[in-house]
A = this chain, B = another copy of it.
Amino acid sequence: MEAFSDGVIAVAATLLVLNLVVPAAGAHGLAHALGRRWPAYAAYATSFITIGIIWINHHVVLGRLREADHAILILNLLLLMTIGVLPFATNLLSVYLNRPRGQHVAAAVYAGAFLLMSIAFTLLNWHILMRKTHLLRAPLSHEERRRIGLRFMTGLGPYVVATALAFVSQYLTLGICAGIALFYSLPVASGQQRAAKTA
């Protein structure tokens, strides 16, 4: 299951580059034409880091399993399907971020795609932790399983906010999504480190 998942996630991350289109030089020169495309770069970086962090977490979640059954495979497939959509959502935001029309809808779709992906991930994780304890590699206490499950669930909050605020400001939505990616990149967000401090 990991080889296929790694493949889909890696290809989705790399396809984000199709979002970067070679512009015509225009009246102000190529540097200016490239500069005007900053939404594409911001969306690329935000999406790439987010997909990368999904991949890291995906590895942790699946690493807890001794083996997978049909339900886990299908829930994992749903997660991959939502990840596969991200290059499209990224492209949509890149095109519309700076436009006077469609910018709010594009931002809502962008954050909404991340939210959908997070919901699929939360479902997969919850299913494994709560209903497939017998497939876990090492036993986890009920306490610990609840704690991990809740951490995933609270992770949905910021994406709900980002999606709702799309209708206030598309820049705010992109900023929140970038902030979430940044937050999970920091050492403080790493479960490993937190565990190390607790011990």
State the A residues within 8 Å of B (CB): 2-4, 6-18, 20, 22, 25, 29-31, 33-34, 44-45, 48-49, 52-53, 55-56, 69-71, 73-74, 77, 80-81, 84-85, 87-88, 91-92, 95-96, 99, 101-102, 105-106, 109, 185, 187, 189-190, 192-193
Contact = CB atoms under 8 A, between A and B. Distances in A.
Nearest to A190: B70
A30 B130 CA distance: 40
A48 B81 contact: yes
Chain B CB count within 10 A is highest, among A29, A81, A85, for A81
Nearest to A104: B30
A73 B101 CA distance: 39
Nearest to A185: B74
A70 B6 contact: no
Contacts of A101: 25, 29-30
Copies of this chain in its oligomeric complex: 4
Contact of A187 (B6, B70, B95): B70
A116 B71 CA distance: 27
A87 B16 CA distance: 11
A96 B105 CA distance: 25
A151 to B, nearest CB: 15
A28 to B, nearest CB: 11
A44 B81 CA distance: 9
